[in-house]
């Protein structure tokens, strides 16, 4: 906020009613503490030496540097801090990180995030993808019960890249099919959601991502595409296919793919604000959306910071 706007705001504070004053106080106390030392306090200590993976008990205090506690590993003798080896290592302006995390929660544009954090757009863009790098890898370890799976497509995009990795194809021409990037979304009825960029929409690629994810006693629900029969057979799971094209949407009252389709449309609607994302960052955006859906109203800048550090044990998140 510029100086004259701020002066005007201060002037107006005097005319608040008691109720309004309480509201303002509430907002101010709820704002995250953005002092660098406060951010340093939120950053969890490492679980292991980032160099040799020795357990945290091997790490001894070794002074401070750049406002963070340093530790020396008894095992390998190397020093580290809580950010060593994480995507946030070496990012500057730590006092702005919580503002940036808030911008992620709001799904703010790069321009808006840059404004909130007082950094330039290139920095805001770099921060966005550093903050999302770990979240992009955060998928449920397994899904069970009824698991709905369906594929969805995004336009391939080389946004921001000066050189195309291959000659441009004409829209709608013979190459049109290849200009779409396939993503498989799998969601169980507890709401756990995983998605995977597929190199190819075939049984082998779909099996490769679903097999480690889906419990053996789960029931896989898909549309009528033949491919999924093969996938289910290879994986040895029960399969229920709804013939959506024939107008059959629900089988036996329980088997449908409406949850995964609803997830997909929320994802698409949310992504539309970015006006097409570069394919090389697609997984970061998918992870971003999963993060927002994972915590829903419980998401906070602290939670985002933990996700950015690749630390997402639920008990830790509950404490923050």
- Phi first, then psi: give them for residue 188, nearest 5 degrees: -95, 175
CB of 60 to Zn ion, least distance (A): 11
| Integer Cα distance of 91 and 108 in angstroms | 20
CB of 55 to Zn ion, least distance (A): 10
CB of 70 to Zn ion, least distance (A): 13
CB of 54 to Zn ion, least distance (A): 5
Return the number of the residue (75 or 234) whose C-beta is nearest Zn ion.
75
CB of 75 to Zn ion, least distance (A): 5
Return the number of the residue (54 or 198) whose C-beta is nearest Zn ion.
54
Return the number of the residue (49 or 231) whose C-beta is nearest Zn ion.
49
CB of 45 to Zn ion, least distance (A): 14
Residue of 137, 117, 110, 69 whose CA lies nearest to 308: 137
Residue of 284, 261, 285 whose CA lies nearest to 271: 285
In the chain, % helix, strand, coil (3-state, to 5) comes to: 45, 20, 35
Residues making contact with Zn ion (CB under 5 A): 49, 51-52, 54, 73, 75-76
Helices 121-133 and 110-117: crossing angle, nearest 10°?
Answer: 100
Instruction: Please give the helix or strand (H or E) that residue 21 lies within, else none.
Output: helix 18-30
Return the number of the residue (54 or 278) whose C-beta is nearest Zn ion.
54
Assess contact for 131 and 101: CB atoms under 8 A.
yes
Return the number of the residue (44 or 224) whose C-beta is nearest Zn ion.
44
Residue of 131, 105, 45, 35 whose CA lies nearest to 298: 105
| Integer Cα distance of 83 and 117 in angstroms | 20
Return the number of the residue (78 or 266) whose C-beta is nearest Zn ion.
78
| Integer Cα distance of 125 and 108 in angstroms | 11
Cα-based distances in Å from 78 to 56, 72, 74, 112, 169:
13, 6, 8, 40, 51
Return the number of the residue (34 or 75) whose C-beta is nearest Zn ion.
75
Kind of pairing between the strands at 59-65 and 146-155:
unpaired
Kind of pairing between the strands at 219-223 and 238-242:
parallel
Residue of 65, 138, 174 whose CA lies nearest to 309: 138
CB of 141 to Zn ion, least distance (A): 27
Return the number of the residue (49 or 68) whose C-beta is nearest Zn ion.
49
As a residue count, the chain comes to 320
CB of 80 to Zn ion, least distance (A): 8
């Amino acid at each position: 906020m510029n100086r004259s706007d701020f002066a005007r705001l201060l002037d107006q504070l005097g005319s608040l009613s008691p109720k309004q004053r309480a509201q303002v106080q509430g907002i101010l106390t709820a704002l995250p503490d953005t002092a660098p030392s406060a951010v340093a306090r939120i950053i969890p200590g490492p679980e292991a030496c980032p160099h040799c993976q020795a357990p945290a008990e091997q790490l001894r205090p070794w002074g401070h540097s750049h406002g963070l506690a340093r530790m020396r590993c008894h095992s390998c003798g190397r020093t580290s801090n809580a950010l060593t080896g994480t995507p946030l290592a070496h990012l500057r302006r730590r006092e702005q990180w919580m503002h940036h995390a808030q911008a992620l929660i709001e799904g703010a544009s790069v321009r808006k995030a840059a404004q909130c954090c007082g950094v330039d757009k290139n920095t805001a863009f770099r921060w966005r993808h550093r903050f999302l790098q770990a979240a992009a890898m955060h998928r449920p370890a397994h899904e069970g019960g009824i698991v709905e799976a369906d594929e969805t497509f995004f336009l391939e995009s080389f946004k921001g890249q000066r050189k195309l990795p291959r000659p441009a194809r004409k829209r709608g021409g013979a190459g049109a099919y290849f200009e779409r990037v396939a993503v498989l979304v799998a969601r169980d009825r507890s709401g756990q959601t995983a998605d995977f960029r597929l190199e190819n929409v075939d049984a082998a690629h779909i099996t490769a991502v679903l097999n480690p994810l889906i419990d053996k006693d789960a029931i896989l629900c898909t549309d009528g595409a033949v491919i999924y029969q093969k996938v289910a057979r290879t994986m040895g799971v029960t399969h229920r296919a709804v013939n959506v094209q024939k107008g059959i949407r629900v089988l036996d009252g329980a088997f449908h793919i409406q949850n995964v389709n609803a997830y997909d449309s929320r994802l698409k609607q949310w992504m539309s604000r970015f006006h097409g994302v570069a394919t090389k960052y697609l997984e970061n955006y998918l992870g971003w959306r999963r993060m927002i859906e994972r915590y829903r109203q419980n998401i906070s800048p602290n939670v985002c910071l933990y996700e950015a550090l690749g630390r997402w044990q639920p008990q830790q998140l509950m404490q923050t």
